[in-house]
Amino acid sequence: MRILLVEDNVALAETLALTLKRAGYAVDWRTDGRDALILGEQEPYDLAIVDLGLPGMDGLEVVRQWRESGLNTPVLMLTARSRWTERVAGLQAGADDYLTKPFHDEELLLRMQALLRRAHGREPSAVLNACGLQLDENTQRISGAGLSAVALSATEFKLLRYMMLHPGQVLSKTRLAEHLYDYEDERDSNVIEVQINHLRSKLGRTAIETRRGQGYVLVGRAP
């Protein structure tokens, strides 16, 4: 899952980026609202975390313009302001949730999970269920259909989480790379193929189908 982090406090942003990467997210960080506006419209983000007070263009205007252009990426807005009127303004601009600074990393991650689940029509939970599999985001282990809490590597976890949010869909290597790597990463489609094979070795060879010339489909593990 790929996140756009828009925060001009360098110390906070660096800490948040590290926390998000440890939780298995690819992160692009911008400090200026104008840059964020353009990047958010160009890149396929799964979620945006946007500070209210930004140079160039404030967070409210960034989100408002995204929504006016038809962009429906989930947005979690951050602010140091605790007045209820500020929260209402953020929600009216199109933000999906609001978090007041200072906050705990655990709360941020839980709110992100809830927004991502809601965007895919799922119930908010740290355990993702799809195709007879259960993925625990806190432990990054997969279970179900005869599996007993099998540990995943960081890349395997990121790949399987995205596929479990899109079960039964044909996912091309390009699309997978766009959601697994940040803006600066080199996107080697061969790496995707290698990680798919790693997942098959843990889930079973038939758990992920290959559609020649199209991509991959998560169908699940036979019990």
Q: What is the pLDDT of residues 5-57, one digit of tens each?
A: 999 999 999 999 999 999 999 999 999 999 999 999 999 999 999 999 899 99
**Least confidently predicted of 99-113, 132-146, 174-188:** 174-188
Helix or strand run (H / E) with residue 176: helix 173-180
Confidence of residue 184 (pLDDT cuts 50, 70, 90): low
Q: State the first-to-last Cα distance of the chain, in angstroms, to the nearest integer.
A: 28
Domains, the chain, with CATH or none? 2-119 (3.40.50.2300), 127-218 (1.10.10.10)
**CA gap 213, 71 in Å, rounded:** 29
Average pLDDT, the chain: 90
* C-alpha distance from residue 38 to each of 43, 49, 66, 89, 92 (Å): 9, 15, 9, 22, 21
- Among candidate residues 217, 194, 182, the one with its CA nearest the CA of residue 1: 182
Taking the model in full, what pTM does it have? 0.85
Phi, psi (rounded to 5 degrees) for 133? -115, 150
Q: What is the pLDDT of residues 125-164, one digit of tens each?
A: 778 999 999 999 989 999 987 788 899 999 999 999 999 9
